[in-house]
Amino acid sequence: MKAYATFRDLQHDLFNGTLTCKDVVTHHLQFIKSHAHLNAFLSIYESEAFKRAEQIDQRIQANTAGSLAGMVIGIKDLLAYQDHPLEASGKILKNYLPPYSSTVVQRLMEADAIIIGRQNCDEFGMGSSNENSAFGPVLNPFDTSRVSGGSSGGSAVAVQTGMCRISIGSDTGGSVRQPAAFCGVMGLKPTYSRISRHGLVAYASSFDCIGIIGSNADDIARVLEVIAGADTYDSTVSSTEVPAISLGASSTASFKVGYIPETLDTQALQPEIRQAVLETLEKLKTNGHQVRPVAFPYLNYLLPAYYILAAAEASSNLSRYDGVRYGYRSSEATDIMTMFKKSRSEAFGKEVKRRIVLGTFVLTSDYHDAYYTKAQKVRRLIRDSTRTLFTDVDFLLMPTTPTTAFPVGRQSKNPVETYLADIFSVQANVCGMPAMSVPCGKDNFGLPIGLQVMADDFQEQKLIQFSDLLTRLN
């Protein structure tokens, strides 16, 4: 099978009969097997994928196929798919089979997408390197001594190497955009509440977003049209109408682009990334777009506010894993209290324990006001300040990450340094606004650089169009 730049091109051949869904599945399975050493997939649904391919081929012939007919998709190991393993890349949910599918998976299936397998990630989505998985790290395809990014590392690697057309991940503090940047693909975190979280394993419920990783903007737009929108199973989902987001004709509009100078002046920023961002800003000016610096006074408060609040919510959400109802139960338990303690201490990984402890600490009565309440107030200030910026500009442009992919093993030496990898990505999660990482060249070692674009609430259509424009500029 030849390489197709977009799913639109691939589907054209599917519908005119020169290609079959079975051919497409065979193609992606070959790449999954040839790249098995990268550890991107935890489960591969080979026989099931072929069966669905045959069914969809029949629907194509009968002109009854869905909008995503023939699209091969991988799902992060945080999304429920009925009677398929869901383990959150940890031990505490070992061998768990959900009795229902998440809303996102259900909508993909109804649109005739093909789920090819379950993808490796940081345990419970907690990490920026995909080294916190109980099943081992996912390696970067550009340099296997480097990390893939996290927590959706397996999802980004799968798209980059052609193991699937689209990956569905989750983004709590950058977990779609950061691995997309490290792997040279596109990653969208939509507006909070744009996509139902029903069937997504919860980490921090007021931050969690289901996101999309793809190789081009049009593919991502087509998937977003299908999975976004109101859902009776999730009361937090917005009822805002989902527009026709697919690109079709590319936008020729002139945009107002803002950038925060401090994001480019920090010594933590890798020089090649700074240069890539500056060159992109100059290209935008040359092509008739307005580019201006903007003031944002809360940059240094983003990470503290995020980690306090996210850890507090994680402490609450993960309290349900107690060995009583489902999941891992310690064989050494002698009474109910030792069952709680031993089950959780034996099955949770180090990073998950670290965040639970931090979250429990900031929620204690002695420190609740000093940390949690204050962080909530800071979050409000950050959101209000960011929204004010979008009264003057259409987009904020900044690096996705301060560095390109770092070496495997660095996180275990200095976890705090790894947390700093989220310094640019967490703003979109704290504010609940949409953001997208776009490939923007490579560094001196040949590792991909990611450029992040952020927009106002529910502006995904404009964000995707602008991101497509950036890929053509670069």
Two structure tokens written together for 256: 């107002």
Report the alpha-carbon distance of residue 105 to residue 73 in Å, rounded.
10
Q: How far apart are the first and last CA of the chain?
A: 28
Catalytic residue of the set 102, 129, 133, 151: 151
Report the alpha-carbon distance of residue 170 to residue 178 in Å, rounded.
11
Reduce the DSSP state of residue 16 to 3 states and report it: helix
Is residue 275 packed enough to be buried (19+ CB in 10 Å), middle (13-18) or exposed (0-12)? middle
For residue 7, give the nearest of 138, 103, 111, 77 by alpha carbon.
111
DSSP 396-420: EEEES-SSSPPBTTHHHH-HHHHHG
Phi, psi (rounded to 5 degrees) for 210 = -80, 130
Catalytic residue of the set 43, 76, 133, 342: 76
Reduce the DSSP state of residue 130 to 3 states and report it: coil
DSSP 315-355: HHHGGG-SSSSSS---TT--SHHHHHHHHHHHHS-HHHHHH
- Using alpha carbons only, give the angle 327, 329, 334 rounded to the nearest 5 degrees: 160
- Is the separation of the CB atoms in 165 and 72 below 8 Å? yes
Question: C-alpha 302: how far from its chain's center?
Answer: 19
Say which residue the tokens 């600490």 belong to.
Answer: 361
Catalytic residue of the set 175, 215, 238, 246: 175
Reduce the DSSP state of residue 213 to 3 states and report it: strand
Contacts of 50 (CB under 8 A, 6+ apart): 22, 25
Active site residue 128: no
How many CA atoms are closer than 13 Å to the CA of 455, on its beta-carbon side? 22
Report the alpha-carbon distance of residue 257 to residue 48 in Å, rounded.
46
ω into 151 cis (within 30 of 0): yes
Report the alpha-carbon distance of residue 97 to residue 8 in Å, rounded.
34
Active site residue 175: yes
Report the alpha-carbon distance of residue 189 to residue 433 in Å, rounded.
8
Report the alpha-carbon distance of residue 245 to residue 222 in Å, rounded.
7
Active site residue 151: yes
Reduce the DSSP state of residue 225 to 3 states and report it: helix
Report the alpha-carbon distance of residue 80 to residue 123 in Å, rounded.
15
Q: Catalytic residue numbers?
A: 76, 151, 175
